[in-house]
Amino acid sequence: MSTSSLLLALLGDARLPSGGHTQSAGLEPALRAGTTAAQVPAYLRARLRTVIRVEAGTAVVARAVAAGGGDLAEVEAAWAARTPSRALRANGRRLGRGYLRVLHTLWPGPYDARARTWSRPVVLGLLAHRAAMAPADVARLVGYDDVQTVTAALLKLDPQDPLVVAAWVKDLLPDIDEMAAQVAHLHTPEQIPAHGAPLIERWAETHDTATERLFSA
């Protein structure tokens, strides 16, 4: 199975109502904590190895479970167990509702009423099943969406030369492919990676209670 590159471009479009324009993927609190713009590529690589690998693995497993007619609530529970930050769980479910709108509009059909409480990677897995996406491609989508969310937020929080930022994204494409290859074979909730990122989780919790912020997460 292969996925149209145009479909990936469509689903990676920041204009979709999936929440990317409202969040910074943790960059705003990271900058407040002293992270510099020059450290953003390293920050992104750290995310790809930890929280985003968990999310990509969850999306791949959700796709497989949906294809087999299984219960996606079990995948949601496995994702939640691997996401100890309450703020990150809440944000993931908020993003999930955005992707559910995409699913309903572009691939309409019956769905579980519990889907409104599911996280972004679980809804993306269901979307990938409906759209006949390859496992590696849904994992790439998760990785690319995170990279473009962070870099787009940087241009608002600490403006840089957009071409320099575009070069960072280009340099990170092999990292996204590597991460996707590591999770593309997963099929069951027990196989979802469990990689912690305590500092990112701490920043998310701090940001959740901040009274002055540009992004919701």
Tell me the pLDDT band of 168, cut-offs 50, 70 and 90: very high
Q: Is residue 215 part of a domain?
A: no
Looking up tokens 């940001």, which residue turns up?
207
Judge whether residue 112 has pLDDT over 80.
Answer: yes
Q: Domain tally for the chain?
A: 1
Which tokens in the block code for residue 91?
A: 């944000």
Mean pLDDT of the chain: 90
Give pLDDT tens digits for 30-62.
Answer: 998 899 999 999 999 999 999 999 999 999 999
Q: Is residue 14 part of a domain?
A: yes
Range of the domain at 134: 5-206
> In this predicted structure, which of 54-58, 90-94, 186-190 has the lowest mean pLDDT?
90-94
DSSP string, the chain: ----HHHHHHHT-TTSSSSGGG--TTHHHHHHTT--GGGHHHHHHHHHHTHHHHHHHHHHHHHHHHHTT--HHHHHHHHHHT---HHHHHHHHHHHHHHHHHHHHHS-----GGGGGS-HHHHHHHHHHHTT--HHHHHHHHHHHHHHHHHHHHHHHS---HHHHHHHHHHHHHHHHHHHHHHTT--SGGGS-----HHHHHHHHHHHT-SS-SS--
Q: Is residue 118 part of a domain?
A: yes
pLDDT at position 215 is 66
CATH number for position 127 = 1.10.4190.10
Q: Is residue 26 part of a domain?
A: yes
pLDDT at position 48 is 96
> Residue-wise over 48-72: b if at least 16 C-beta within 10 A, else e?
bbbbbbbbbbbbbbbbbbbbeebeb
Q: Is residue 127 part of a domain?
A: yes
pLDDT at position 213 is 65
Give me the mean pLDDT over the 128-140 stretch: 95
Q: Is residue 150 part of a domain?
A: yes
Predicted TM-score (pTM) above 0.85: yes
Tell me the pLDDT band of 124, cut-offs 50, 70 and 90: very high
Q: Is residue 216 part of a domain?
A: no
